[in-house]
Structure 1
């Protein structure tokens, strides 16, 4: 189904309007979002995406509606995985929590621009060369295998762009609010705020290489690909603050994403065989293979994600990580000088409760790892020392 230019125009205006609204009313003034604020706005953005999907279903038919929701759920799951890396990058650059919103919004805008470029490039390739499906399928299967083999390493290395920036430009070691440039000893210098944005932007380019083939495996409708991708990124900033601390509990997310990407990769290969025009394969004629419907894809994607989340939240490893993450968060905020005295006192009280939960963890591998975590112990001891001095 061809989408009229007017619909395209209105959609783009609506998405840009949402981004501008987010910046003007939430990001321009640096602050730490409350849990309630993050939850409300996360729900609003998910609601907007669902209402839009219902509209697509109503005006475009069941096929377009199913393709949109399958694409949206897949891209949303991949965007949650992106949050892990954003969290690690911001931790490695020690971004002040009040300024993390600006970094996240930049990441979302850059991600949307990068993905839009890849979407139109991918659509042009698909329209001209059917064999591109083989390449997309192979990319997703390789990505799935790499996710399964990937070690859980939380040390974020500076990427090439950051290393080049530090080598060829004057860079400051200190933040100056949310400014990207500052002056030290009369010299204009880049701040870590600009460097972290460069790191996020460079990482987004890599994510787009996996993300776009995944959604093209579910639909070749450029409008659906674009809107599902855009709405999956909307609200990502709020989601970060809502599930910060819960992210570590999703210990099986990488396995779930690997299954989903592998499944879509196989779907793409089957579709490529069904549309085959490579002269060295079956004489350039299509092969009689079974194709996976979008409806079945949607069921598989939602099912795998549901099993992944439930298994993570109720596993011994997930529960131990939950206690550890909560204690780490409350210990940091109990000594954070940017917070007021009452907030630090509340976090200290929560930390004391976390310590009891750590003691109550089973004497298995996961409980022992939390109790023997030297960095966590140091954070807790620092919180006790600073509380005693107040």
Structure 2
């Protein structure tokens, strides 16, 4: 276990909060459609911040912590691409105007980070209390990998999640965006706008992704600090990355298979780690530098193979994949008919 001093926690949390405040100022001060040049600038900025943070961890905390951070960051960044697929679906399903998209993304990502912090702390507590936690995490990741391959051509129904359904029951919803507000008054009644539902959909959907990504990053480090920082810096750049690669996502036709391979590899690594520590030290375990090399290789192969496939078959479009078979929307009774 990497020993992280208290000052590192304080400095990291302060930096993350400062970056979120910066993002809020940029996104909320003047709603506007984000174009390629702006998205490129902020994407490069957040990747640079994440890399500089990793170098600081390497120099100030140690090379082991630095290596684990970079491995964790790459895992989280690669898995977050699947989030972007779902964000695109959410924006399209609710017809969110371009000028409000970055605002709702930012609120959703902020909520997602808060929920992930809770899961990270729970995961750390279980690891400290129960030696078989890594075995459970490993089995979860392998099951997820299998499901993602089985349903790789599915799209999750973002309007049919439990949280979204409950939100609709609590308060009536208007179809008007009311200048980008989440609540409004119509005919003397307080109503929620579609922007609030989009916010809830993004936050709750990301929580489902976190159930896989957090065990995955615990596969390359036992440090809650590194798990938190890798998640935070991967999420911070999602808003800009969404607008940068929105049009390219359709071309990553093998993304679900590549992510499945990463999850299966990390799941196997966690199971070997459990067996090495609790059964026999003669059982080999996979070192973090090897994990980093395997993950990068899988991402490169997935990207190149996807682009080659689309070049030969331009009619093919990528799907985000799902952990279960999604009901066809045309089979569901519409709310207007009920």
TM-score when scaled to structure 2?
0.89
Q: Deviations over 1:229-255 (max 9, x none)?
A: 111111110000000110111111110
Contact map agreement 2:141 2:266 (CA 8 A) in 1: yes
* SS state at 1:158 partner: coil
Runs of 4+, deviation exceeding 6 Å: none
Which residue of 1 is the match for residue 189 of structure 2? 187
Match of 2:267 among 229, 254, 265: 265
TM-superposed CA distance for 1:167, in Å, is 2.7
Cα distance in 2 for residues equivalent to 1:236 and 1:168: 29
Contact 2:109–2:202, Cα closer than 8 Å, also in 1: no
Instruction: Give the SS at the match of 1:171.
Output: coil
Q: Distance in 2 between matches of 1:272 and 1:103?
A: 40
What secondary structure, in the 3-state scheme, does the structure 2 residue paired with 1:244 have? helix
Deviation at 1:151, TM superposition (A): 4.3
Preserved CA contact (<8 Å) 1:249 1:319: no
Counterpart of 2:290 (choices 296, 302, 305) is: 296
| Alignment CA distance shift 1:321-1:102 (3 Å) | farther
Task: Say how many residue pairs are matched.
Answer: 316
Q: Deviations over 1:228-285 (max 9, x none)?
A: 1111111110000000110111111110000000000000000011122xxxxxxxx4
- 1:104 and 2:100 aligned: no
Who is 1:307 aligned against? 301
More off after superposition, 196-205 vs 130-139: 196-205
C-alpha distance in structure 2 between counterparts of 1:147 and 1:98, whole Å: 33
Q: Contact (CA 8 Å) 1:28, 1:102: kept in 2 or not? A: no
Partner of 1:3: 4
Aligned residues of 1:274 and 1:287 also touching (Cα < 8 A): yes
- Report the more deviating stretch, 313-322 or 156-165: 313-322
**1:206–1:317: structure 2 CA closer, same or farther, 3 Å change rule?**
farther
CA distance change for structure 1 residues 27 and 261 in 2, over 3 Å: closer, same or farther?
A: same
Q: CA RMSD in A?
A: 1.7
SS class of match (1:246): helix
Structure exhibiting the larger radius of gyration computed from Cα positions: 1
User: Which residue, 163, 182, 198 being the options, matches 1:161?
Assistant: 163
Which of residues 240, 243, 260 is equivalent to 1:241? 243
Q: Is the 8 A contact 1:249 1:318 kept in 2?
A: no
CA distance in 2, matches of 1:247, 1:230: 22
Whole-Å Cα distance in 1 between the matches of residues 252 and 98 of structure 2? 22
**Structure 2 CA distance, aligned partners of 1:97 and 1:219?**
38
Correspondence list, 1:140-159, <5 A: 140-154=141-155, 156=157, 157-159=159-161
Instruction: Deviation per CA, 1:48-74: give whole Å up to 9, x if none.
Output: 111111111122222211111110001
> Residues 321 and 79 from structure 1, CA distance in 2 versus in 1: closer, same or farther, beyond 3 angstroms?
farther
> Displacement of 1:321 after TM fit?
5.3
Q: Secondary structure at the match of 1:88?
A: helix
- 1:19-168 matches, within 5 Å, as 19-154=20-155, 156=157, 157-168=159-170
Give the Cα–Cα distance (whole angstroms) in 1 for the partners of residues 33 and 65 of structure 2.
39
Q: Alignment partner of 1:177: what SS? A: helix
Name stretches of at least 5 consecutive residues in structure 2 with no aligned partner: 319-338
Partner of 2:330: none
C-alpha separation between the residues in 2 aligned to 1:184 and 1:213? 45
1:18 partnered with 2:12: no
**Which one scores higher on RCO, CA 8 angstroms, separation ≥ 6?**
2
Q: Which TM-score applies when normalising by structure 1? A: 0.78
CA distance in 1 between counterparts of 2:112 and 2:26 reads 21
